[in-house]
Chains A and B, each alone.
Chain A
Amino acid sequence: MTFLDQADRGIPTGLAKVLHLNWALTLLLATVASVGFLMLYSVAGGSFEPWAKAQMIRFGLGLAAMFIVGFIHIRFWRGIAPIAYAAGIVLLIIVEFFGSIGMGAQRWIDLGFIMLQPSELMKIALVMMLALYYDWLPREKVSRPLWVALPLVLTLIPTAMVLQQPDLGTAILIVASGGVVMFLAGVSLWYFIAAVSGGVGLVSLVMMSRGESWQILKDYQYKRIETFLDPSLDPLGSGYHITQSKIALGSGGLSGRGFMEGTQTRLNFLPEKHTDFIFTTLAEEFGFVGSISLLMLYLLVVVFCLVSAMRNRDRFGALLTGGIAATFFFFFAVNMAMVMGLIPVVGVPLPLVSYGGSAMLVLMAAFGLVQSAHIHRPR
C-alpha cells in the first residue's frame, strides 16, 4: 500500500482528473475535427446531410470515449495491452473469413451498431503491446538481437495479415508505428539503418532483375508496380484521381476559391471527396493558407503529444504517447503526400477530417490513452 501511495502521489483522483486533462490537446483535436465538419458540409453542397451531421455525432461519441479511456488509470491499460493485442489478432483472423467486402478488400466487421475495421484497432493494440514490452525489458537488453527480434515478430504478424486483405496503406502504418515505438525505446540506430538499406537493396534487386534471366517477378507485376509508382502512365485509371486532385489543389491558389466555391469538388471531378481526398477540397476552397494551416494544426497535435511523452517519467506512458503521436503523424503525412502526388495512392484517410466512423472512434480512444498517460503520469 505504501508503494502504491508513493507511486500515485500527486495523481488526481475522481472529478479532479477533469482539471488535469490535457485540455490544450483536446481543444486542438476539436479544432481539427471542426475543419472536418466544415469540409463535409461543403462537399455535400452546403448540407449537414449526409456526412457532416453523422461525423459530428461520431466526434461526440469519440470525445466521450476519449474521456472515459482517459479517466481510467494507465495501469489498467498497461494490464490489458496483451489482451488487446491478442484480441486484435483474433479480429483480423475473423475478418479474413467473415469480413464484409469494402473497397475491394476484406476489411470490415459488422458489429451491428458500427462497422469495425480491425486493422485500425490493431495499430493501437500494437503500440500498447510494444510499449508494455519495452516497459518490461531492461534497458541494457533493448538492442540485443533476440530482444529486437521479438517486437519485430509482434509487428510483422499483424502487418502480414493486413497485407493479406490487401490494405497496403494500413500495413505501412502498422510497420511504421511499431518501428517508431522501437525507435523511441532506444533500439540501436544500426538496426534501422540496416532495415532501410536492406529494404532499398531488396527493391533494387527486384527491379534490376527485370528483363534478366533471373527475373524475380512476372512481367505484369512489374507493370503494376510501374503504374503504382507513376499513375500518369494510366491517366484514365489510377492516374485520373491524382491528376484531378492536383488540379483541385493547384487551382485553389494562395487564398482559395472560397467556401463552397470549389468547382472540382462541386462538379464531382474529385473521387472520394468526402473520405481519402477530402484534403483537396480544403486546399481548393481555402488555398495555400488553408492547407498550410491544417498542416500546422496537425503538427501541433504531434508536438503536444511528443512533449507530453518526453516529460512523462513513466516509460509505458511515454512510449504509448509517442507511438500514438507517430501513428497519427503517419496518418496525415501519408494522406497529404498521397493527394499531392508525392507518393502513390494508398488508402489512408485524413485523421479526424475524413468521413469515417471506426477510424474516428479508434483514433479518439487512442487519444484517450494519451490523456490517461498524461493525467496519471508520475509526479
Chain B
Amino acid sequence: MRRPSQTTPTYVTRRGLMLLGLKLGVVGGLGYRMRQLQVEQADTFRLLAEENRVNIRLLPPARGLIFDRNGKPIAVNQQNYRVTVVREQTDNPEETLHKLSRLIPLPPDRQEKVLKEMRQRSAFVPVTVTEHLSWEEIARVAANAPALPGVTTEVGLTRHYPELENFAHIVGYVGPVSERDLNRVEDPDPLLQIPDFQIGKTGIEQRVEGGLRGGAGNSRIEVNAAGRVMRELERTEGIAGQDLHLTIDKELQAYALKRMAGQSSAAVVLDVKTGEIIVSASAPSFDPNAFVFGISTGNWNELLNDPYRPLSNKAVSGAYPPGSTFKMVVALAALEAGVVGPGETVYCPGHYQLGRRRFHCWKRGGHGHTDLNESLKFSCDVYYYDVARRVGIEKITAMANRLGIGIKHDLPLPAISEGLTPTKAWKRRVHDEDWLVGDTLNSGIGQGFMLASPLQLAVMTARIASGREITPRLIRAVEGQPTAKPPPAELDISEQSLGLVRRGMFDVVNGRRGTARRSRIVDPENRMAGKTGTSQVRIITPEERARGVFKNKDLPWERRDHALFVSYAPYTDPRYAMAVIVEHGGGGSVAAAPIARDIMLRCLYGPVPPLEAYPAEERDKIEALRAAEPPVEETPPPSTSDRA
C-alpha cells in the first residue's frame, strides 16, 4: 500500500518562492540586456546592419565620343553583346554550353574555360561565355532562351573606331586597365577597378583620359549574407565623358593616308589662320580596334618588326633633317640680320671651298650667279653655305625657333618630337666638341645636326605664309564648346623679308625652272607656293663623289634620301600649310611634291578636284588614273550607336 501523499507542502512553498525570486532575478538580467542592446546601443547596431546589407556598385559612365571637325564620328561606343550563364539557374552546364555552341561560335576549349570558371565562382555569379557577338547571333540566343535556362544576353559598351587605321596615331586606342596603369596614378579612380573597364592607352584617348572618362555612377544594392544581389535601393547614373571635336577633317585624313599608302611617309596640313591641324597622317598605320580587345602576339610582333614602323606617329614624333626646306629659315635669318640684300648674288661654281674641305652643291655644274629668289627656286646649296656662314648658327637657330622648329608644340599626343636646332653651347654640352664653321654650313642647308618633325615644318610654313605665330591645335571643341584660342601674335619679322621668301617659294612651284614645277596648281585663284627638300641620310665620300654619286634607285631603301616638300596655298590668301615627308623616298620634287599637291587640291576643291587645276601636261595622266579607279561613291556614314 502506498503512503498517502498529503504532506503539507510548506517547504515547496518556501523553496518555490526562493526559486521564483532567483528566476525573477535572471529575467531582470535578460530584460536589462535587451534594453542595453535594443535601446542604448540601437543606433550602432542599426548602422552595422546597414553595412551588412548595402553594397555600393560602381556604374561605368559612357566614354566621351570623338568626332572630326565636321562632326563625323571617329571614336564611338558600340554595344557589346555578350552571353552569360548563371550556374545555379542551369540544370546541366555542360549541356547548356553544348546547346549554345550550336547557336554561336563556341569552340570546345572556350567551353572548358567557362565550365572551369563556373565551378570556381559562386553559383549565382554570372559567367561570361562569349563577347562581341553580332546582332544576329544574340537574337538567335534570345529566341532560344526558353531552352537555355540560366543563359542571359547582356549588352555593355566598348570602344569602336569606325575609321579604322586612319586615326590610329591621333586618337590612339583604349584597352583594359593594366597593373601599370593603376600604379601610374597616385589616387586611382575607383572606376579602374571595374572588370573590363577600358582606359586610354595612347594618343588622345590617353592624353585626354580625364575628360573622356567621365564620372562613375553608383548603384546601392542590397545583398544577402552570401553576397547575392537582392534588389537595387538607389541608382545614380554616371556622368558621361566629354565629347571631343577634333580639328582634323576625316575625309582629307583618309585621302592622305590612301595617297601615301605603300610608303613610309607622313603629311601634316594646318589651317594657316587658326593653326588647326586638318590632316596629320602617318603611313603605314594600323587598326586600333585590334588593340581594344587585346592584340595577338603574332599581330603585335608583325607591327613591331615592320621596317616602315606603323606604330610610330611620324608626323608628330618623327625627326628628320629638313634639308632644303630649311633654306627659308636661313634666308629669313640673313635678311633680318641684314647680311644679305635681296638682289645680292652669290657665285655658285658647284661647290664651296672651306679651307681644305669642299662643300658640294647638288648641281655639279653650279648655278652661277644666284640671288635670293633664284637660290630658293633652284635650291642652290652654295648660296646657303655662304649666307649661313655670314649670319652664323646662333641667328639661324633663333630664327628656326621663332618659326616653330626646335619647339615642342603642345598637343594632346604622346612622344611629341622637339626636333633639334643646334647651338655652339649645345654641341659643347652634348658632344664636348667645338662648333665648327663646317657645322654652320651643313645647318645652312638643313643637314648636319638639324632635325625637324613634319609638324614643325608645317608650322614653319604656316608662319611664313601668315607672318603670325601660328600654333598647332588638335581639339576644336569640348562638349560642343569651342576651345579658347588666343589670336596668334605677329611674328617679329619684316613683311619685306617674308615677301621675298614667299615669292621665292612661289617660284619654286610656279617659276619656269622651279624644282617643283610639275606639281603646280594652275588655277590662278589657288596657286601653291612651296619648297622641295631632299635630305641625305648617308655621307657621300670624296671617292664616291669622284666616281659619280649613286642614284637613289641603286641604293638599298634605308640608305636612300628622304623626300620632303613644304607648301601653302592659295598663294594670295594662304589657307592651308603643309609638310610632306616620304622616308627614303628619293628627291623631294619627285616623291613628296606630287603627294602634297594632291592633298592640297582636295583641301581646296573637295574630293574630286577639277582637271583644270592640274598643269596641262599632267591632265592626261590624272584622267587615266581616274578612269582606272573610278572614285568611290561617297557612302553615308555608318550608323553608329550613340551612348546607349
Contact = CB atoms under 8 A, between A and B. Distances in A.
Given A269-B225, A315-B5, A250 B13 contact: no
A312 B8 CA distance: 9
B12 A309 contact: yes
A267 B9 contact: no
Contacts of B39: 253-254, 288
A333 B16 contact: no
A263 B49 CA distance: 7
Interface in B5-44: 5-9, 11-13, 15-20, 23-24, 26-27, 29-31, 33-35, 37-39, 41-42, 44
B45 A250 contact: yes
Interface in B217-231: 222-226, 230
Given A184-B19, A295-B27, A268 B224 contact: yes
B222 A288 contact: no
B230 A247 contact: no
B46 interface: yes
B338 interface: no
A337 interface: yes
Given A246-B45, A269-B225, A315 B9 contact: yes
B48 interface: yes
A1 to B, nearest CB: 13
B52 A7 contact: no
B222 to A, nearest CB: 7
Nearest to B30: A336
Most buried by B among A184, A250, A313: A250
Contacts of A302: 20, 23
B23 A315 contact: no
A286 B34 CA distance: 12
A378 B29 CA distance: 37
Interface stretch (A59-67, A226-234, A318-326): A318-326
B38 A3 contact: no
Contacts of A205: none
A266 B20 CA distance: 37
Contacts of B19: 180, 183-184, 306, 322, 326
Contacts of B542: none
Contact of A310 (B3, B16, B38, B222): B16
A252 B38 contact: yes
Contact of B5 (A135, A309, A337, A342): A135
A322 B16 contact: yes
A252 B222 contact: no
A315 B4 CA distance: 10
A340 B33 contact: yes
A298 B29 CA distance: 14
A190 interface: no
Contacts of A316: 5
Given A246-B45, A303-B20, A340-B30, A291 B38 contact: yes
A186 B15 contact: yes
B503 interface: no
B309 interface: no
Interface in B52-70: 52-53
Contacts of A309: 12, 16
A251 to B, nearest CB: 4
Of residues B17, B45, B49, which shows the largest number of chain A Cβ atoms within 10 Å of its Cβ? B49
B98 to A, nearest CB: 34
A78 to B, nearest CB: 8
Contact of A264 (B9, B13, B20, B49): B49
A320 to B, nearest CB: 11
Contact of B37 (A185, A295, A340): A340
Best-surrounded residue of B20, B26, B38, B49 (most CB of chain A within 10 A) = B38
Contact of B6 (A249, A291, A378): A378
A288 B34 CA distance: 7
A310 B45 contact: no
A183 B18 CA distance: 10
A366 interface: no
Given A288-B39, A333-B27, A247 B16 contact: no
B20 A306 contact: yes
A259 B18 CA distance: 38
A299 interface: yes
B31 A295 contact: yes
A329 B22 CA distance: 11
A342 B12 contact: no
Interface string A238-256: 0000001011111111100
B27 to A, nearest CB: 5
Contacts of B44: 250
Contacts of B50: 263
Interface string A289-304: 0011001001100110
A335 B41 CA distance: 21
A139 interface: yes
A283 B34 contact: yes
A121 to B, nearest CB: 24
B46 A315 contact: no
A287 interface: yes
Contact of A184 (B3, B16, B48): B16
B12 A318 contact: yes
Contacts of B38: 249-250, 252-254, 283, 287-288, 291
A314 interface: yes
A220 interface: no
B49 A333 contact: no
Nearest to A302: B23
B222 A263 contact: yes
A313 B230 contact: no
Nearest to A243: B48
A136 interface: yes
A267 B7 contact: no
Q: What 10 pairs between A and B have smallest CB-CB spacing?
A: A250-B45, A251-B49, A267-B224, A288-B38, A186-B11, A253-B42, A268-B225, A251-B46, A269-B225, A310-B16
Interface of B: 3-9, 11-13, 15-20, 23-24, 26-27, 29-31, 33-35, 37-39, 41-42, 44-46, 48-50, 52-53, 222-226, 230
Given A283-B38, A295-B34, 12 more contacts: A3-B4, A184-B11, A249-B34, A263-B49, A288-B38, A299-B24, A303-B20, A306-B19, A315-B7, A319-B12, A322-B12, A340-B30
8 contacts: A185-B15, A249-B37, A250-B42, A252-B42, A263-B52, A322-B19, A326-B19, A333-B30
